Structure 1
Amino acid sequence: MAELDPIIHAESRLRIVAALATLAQEDQITFPRLQELLDMTAGNLSTHLRKLEEAAYVGVEKSHRGRTPVTYVALTMRGRRAFEDYTAQLRALLGA
């Protein structure tokens, strides 16, 4: 059996990826909304998003809504596949 993906397996990153996986493939969520949903501090969320972004599991897009900066977060195709593989491996492990 393959090892569980260590990038996703960390509790906070698993929560982030699981939350993003509930969105439709092309949907994004704002950083503050994701922070609120996960009840995480901005610094903690940023740190884990950076790790997921380095692995190309999430995309982070910064733009402006009027004059206000806004950050959008989305699961990439690679991230979605990694999460699907992770959950399949976990199911196999639990079913064994």
Structure 2
Amino acid sequence: MGLLRGVARTAVVAGTATAVSGRVQRRQQARWDSQAQQQPAQQEQYAQPPQEYVQPQYETASAEAAAPAADPLERLKTLGDLKAQGVLTEAEFEAQKAKILAG
């Protein structure tokens, strides 16, 4: 009778473990499914910033486009001064000078 009792005990333990494991697995799957359903809603929520943080759209006219074109001679003098002060290197000065003279 001892062998039969041991086999029965093993069957009960294995059956209980299987039932508990299945229940845990179903709970986890339900939790993952609910998270997956909530995730697109959260992504939509964060896709657009709140209305108070939306930056207003301004016209894209730059200050340079609005300002009148400076005299090329004045621009060359300014470049010469910057080169003399050591702000511009020789290569930078030549590149900017060519740009001004080109138009």
TM-score of the pair, normalised by structure 1: 0.25
Considering Cα pairs closer than 8 Å and 6+ residues apart, tell me whether 1 or 2 has the greater RCO.
Answer: 1
TM-score of the pair, normalised by structure 2: 0.23
More strand by share: 1
More helix by share: 2
